Chains A and B, each alone.
Chain A
């Protein structure tokens, strides 16, 4: 045996504490805590002034409530001062150099996947394109599928993209962004985003899953509180608007409901959203509404972490009680693919 325990195979070096260097040229000045507090506050304050417009925007798009109100009360005068003194110009220049125009549209994570090396983008006017009555996808003429949604939409989209890629005859585009929905177009404008996607992708099938972030007030003035008849009416209107836009190019649309939530309160709020989305789907031609609870819920359509598929128990929900696991995403993805095959009569393997 060449080495003893001290020369062990595992990491055998003593752990060193984060110490000050001893070389005279490297010796650092220390400071008292009060001066450090001044440094922290001053550094933070200068940063707030420099970054005021972004911070103000972030506050504006945060959920309606006391925190948002307070943040805006603090940031509005600072941002106004920053603009007056042209300080915000520094940030604008930086954003310009990074290609950010301050418009939220286009910030979604767009990933296009497909079996061919050719981009699926077509610049034709999407509004005049019509889907042929019989779609026969092949490797050279792949079916164009667009998947959009929020973070749960990403859970579905990641799995569905992989499933569709495996067929070899589908080009799947995922455009999804966390914490988005229909209630806060000031944060993320889905109709505008979808308009861009339609022009870029010219999809034949669109899969949409969003709504878990929507049980919140519409910002005003005046704010429209969640749960009121006005809110319900406006939300349904926005859902119809998005569905109408999605089908405007002739695409067939699958709207997947928000899955049941573990938290009873959140589940009740999500149920309201689902009901309104379902009613909206009934008003728009070529929209198929799928109830996700039928495949990843329990027999009563409520939250369950586990479902049995083909004799195998799958953990379909994340421990947060909200999101869907990759296995759950695959179950939802299969549900969407079955609908494409059986209801839309599109033969994909």
Chain B
């Protein structure tokens, strides 16, 4: 069930009503939320609800064993690693087995051997990467004694809560479990903020992301050799804006829906293309994933402790695995590798400047904007690999950027340029502008508010295409 559909609107209206009616009865509220969440997930494929249940059981049992059945640190660690291995095993099978077996057998073919492992192509369950990472964080937080084990129903609601289920944000147990346990105030819901987020999210996804995909990104990436260098450059920039509008649009809607149910989520985006370094970019892009990678991978690997080589190793491992988290393909590995390499260079440069007594990042308005420009271009370069269907496809795109100057530009239109500028400008507008609009909305009469909502929906449906493609991050 996609958010921007009538199906989901009806589903949410029912879920909203039932959940608030049951709000005075916590046990029934949790059962209702869980039921709606499993129904929401089953809309794609009912059998994969079992996978969600299995991961919930692994996380719950793992948490219990770590806390109650482990007398020593070694035993705690054992249970923790056992649980993580089970969770990663499921993820590995569904997400990486096909890629692994294909590459192993192709290597064997080159060496003159036949298939040495059976080829696999399991159906990829929607959102498996997201709920697996949340389940892992739950187990690890209990191991670290940052979280006490929750009741089974609480763990189930935590992992399956439908607003975040499909594409995040990757919420921590410490953030969501207390909210699941406590009673929500049915009379004080921040509906104006929720409405703003949902409308903005819908607009970003349905109007802007869809437009950029069909106007330039999809045709150019499908057949790079046929387009000019300028078309190719615009397609790369277009994809940067498309994926931002697509993913942040989803997140906005998710945060808004949760807010209507009385639950607050962490922010996941903070104007990422206004970043002036790659480190800054990762503070602003998919914040909950980069936080997860930092806390559960980078720091355990050693983080910034050690010499430059060790730090570089830690960064590269983290970013490459972060790349592979998105998908089982060489393109994602290269994408992560590029971001890792960029961060390593940035780290060394920053350290040298600090050794000379200079600020880590050069100050000054012009310098800042040059840094923002260069960071954006580097991020776009990496997006080529993220979007490409294969490494060969990415190389064709890169090739056209340098060789396609004799071909006429066919896809650049004034509307496209205006859209680019608008998306970029929004990155630079202070959030107070949106806050003011939301405050104004909240002070209006219900009838005016209803008209605003209807007008917003009409604008979105009129400007958007007839059908809506799934969110890009649904695949992950």
Contact = CB atoms under 8 A, between A and B. Distances in A.
Nearest to B192: A28
Contacts of B355: 2
Interface string A279-312: 0000000000000000000000000011010011
Contacts of B454: 42-47, 50
Contact of B224 (A91, A95, A162): A162
A217 interface: no
A11 B294 contact: yes
A157 to B, nearest CB: 8
Given A17-B266, A54-B461, A113-B227, A5 B439 contact: no
A172 B219 CA distance: 12
Nearest to B169: A15
A85 interface: no
Given A30-B190, A313-B105, A5 B303 contact: yes
**Main DSSP-derived SS at the A contact region:** mixed
A20 B190 contact: yes
Contacts of B407: 117
B30 interface: no
Interface string B446-472: 110111111001100111001100000
A310 B71 CA distance: 58
Interface string A30-47: 111111111111111111
A166 B223 CA distance: 9
Contacts, number: 241
A43 B17 contact: no
B332 to A, nearest CB: 15
Interface in A1-34: 1-5, 7-13, 15-21, 25-34
A166 B222 CA distance: 13
B435 A26 contact: yes
A165 B226 contact: yes
A78 to B, nearest CB: 13
B449 A43 contact: yes
B418 interface: no
Nearest to A167: B225
Contacts of B390: 326-327
B265 A17 contact: yes
B92 to A, nearest CB: 15
Interface in B383-415: 389-390, 393, 396, 407-408, 410
A15 B267 CA distance: 7
A47 B305 contact: no
B318 A10 contact: yes
B447 to A, nearest CB: 8
Interface string B270-298: 00000000010011000110110110001
A140 interface: no
B23 to A, nearest CB: 8
Interface stretch (B120-128, B140-148, B369-377): B120-128
A38 B446 contact: yes
Given A10-B318, A36-B260, A313 B106 contact: yes
Given A17-B265, A113-B227, A40 B13 contact: yes
Given A43-B449, A312-B106, A317-B121, A15 B287 contact: yes
B20 A98 contact: no
Interface stretch (B61-69, B151-159, B343-351, B421-429): B343-351
28 contacts: A5-B303, A5-B304, A9-B298, A9-B343, A10-B293, A10-B294, A10-B303, A13-B287, A16-B267, A18-B255, A21-B435, A26-B435, A29-B442, A33-B23, A42-B446, A43-B451, A46-B451, A90-B458, A91-B458, A91-B462, A112-B410, A113-B223, A158-B223, A165-B223, A178-B467, A306-B119, A313-B115, A327-B390
Top 10 nearest A-B pairs (CB, nearest first) are: A43-B453, A46-B454, A113-B226, A158-B222, A42-B450, A165-B226, A162-B223, A305-B121, A33-B20, A30-B188
Given A15-B287, A162-B226, 13 more contacts: A8-B299, A9-B315, A11-B290, A17-B264, A28-B192, A29-B443, A40-B13, A98-B463, A112-B410, A165-B226, A166-B225, A311-B109, A326-B389
